[in-house]
Amino acid sequence: MSAEPETLLIDHGRRAASDYSSVRHTYEDCARRIEAMLTAWLDAEGVNYLVISARAKSVDSFRGKPRKDDPSLPKYVEPLSEIEDLPLPG
């Protein structure tokens, strides 16, 4: 007997969130460094700006999103390696 699709989707989201949570500190550090570098560069160039802000994606927003064509399936099977705007800093 297999699990219900909704249960599988919830489990997948929990696993994805847990995996991301374990490496999120890397993204937070990277965001802080990029923010500091951009701020320093703009200041050095005398560029007027209102705010420079960077952040790592929250764990909650990282949870798997259902596919539009099949809401019972996660959008990404392996989110950490498949989400293109979230490359692992290396």
22 domain residue, yes or no: yes
How many of the other CB atoms lie within 10 Å of CB of 3? Answer: 10
87 domain residue, yes or no: no
DSSP-based three-state secondary structure for 60: helix
88 domain residue, yes or no: no
Q: Are 17 and 62 in contact (CB under 8 A)?
A: yes
The tokens describing 34, both together, are: 């990029």
Average pLDDT over residues 20-30: 92
The tokens describing 76, both together, are: 């990404």
83 domain residue, yes or no: no
pTM exceeding 0.95: no
What is the percent of the chain where pLDDT is above 70? 74
- pLDDT beyond 60 at 14: yes
- pLDDT beyond 60 at 1: no
Average pLDDT over residues 57-65: 78
Q: What is the pLDDT of residue 63?
A: 73
DSSP character at residue 52: -
Residue range of the domain that includes 71: 5-77
Q: How many domains does the chain have?
A: 1
